[in-house]
Amino acid sequence: MERCRNGDRRALQLLVERYQRPVFNAAYRILGNRDDAADATQVTFLKVFEHLDSYDAKYKLFSWIYRIVVNESIDQLKRKHQLQALDDDEEAGIDGPEELAASELLSRQVQAGLMELSDEYRVVMVLRHFSECSYEQIAEVLKIPEKTVKSRIYTARQQLKGVLAARGVSWT
């Protein structure tokens, strides 16, 4: 981090390479769209570099980066909702399943199910199940009490079970 703060571009590149995959995947699972996830990831790293000086080392680096990508993704969702409300844009649908590999199909079904959750529930599911954050880490990223994290995760799981079951995804 010190090298990044000093403008060491090699260090910055290593930081991007280290975190781009988890950041991109977190953004994708929140936004449901690869292009939007790529944009959110790009903006996230730009904000990281822009605010390196204000980074507080008492927080874990990944928590700080996740907080930025979660906030950026939620902001992007809000802007998109606003545009859709104004212009009735159609979100790209899920491709037909016939040519998809099973894992890809599952991934898309799971994603479609996640997108049916409200933002606050989807975010905790993404952080817990895809980013593998602990309750404590999620609480730190979202700046909410651990008790709230637990409650949201429980409700989100119940809702996701119902949504996925309705989509024909089984887990028994």
Partner 1 sequence: MMDERTQQLLNAELDGELVPAERLELDALLAARPELRQERDGLQGLARRLREAPDLDPPPDLARRVIALINLPSRLQPRRRAPHWAPSPMGLPFAALAAGLTAAVLTYWSIPDGPVADNSVRMVGSMVGVQARVGAEPQDSLAVTLDAISGQVTLGTSAEDRRILAFELNSANPVDIAVNLAGSGLQFDGFARGETGVDLVATDSEALHLRSEGARSFAVFLRGPDASPAAKLRIGLAFSEGEKALYRGALEAP
Instruction: List interacting residues with partner 1 (CB under 8 A).
Output: 9, 12-13, 16-17, 20-21, 24-25, 28, 33-43, 45-46, 49, 72, 75-76, 79-80, 82-83, 85-87, 89, 103-104, 106-107, 110-111, 125, 128-130, 134-135, 150, 153-154, 157, 160-161, 164, 169-172
Torsion of CA 38, 41, 42, 44, to 10 degrees: 160
Q: How far apart are CA 57 and CA 172, in angstroms?
A: 44
Structure-token pair, residue 83: 């545009």
Task: Supply the minimum distance, in Å, between the C-beta of residue 58 and partner 1.
Answer: 23
Q: Is the CB of 42 or the CB of 63 nearer to partner 1?
A: 42
Contact between residue 26 and residue 131 where contact means Cβ atoms under 8 Å apart: yes
| Concatenated DSSP letters of 83-111 | HHHHH-PPPP-PPPGGGS-HHHHHHHHHH
Task: List the end-to-end C-alpha distance of the chain, in Å, as a whole number.
Answer: 45
Task: Supply the minimum distance, in Å, between the C-beta of residue 118 and partner 1.
Answer: 16
Q: Is the CB of 54 or the CB of 103 nearer to partner 1?
A: 103
Q: Is the CB of 63 or the CB of 74 nearer to partner 1?
A: 74
Q: Is the CB of 110 or the CB of 123 nearer to partner 1?
A: 110
Q: How far apart are CA 39 and CA 61, in angstroms?
A: 21
Task: Supply the minimum distance, in Å, between the C-beta of residue 110 and partner 1.
Answer: 4
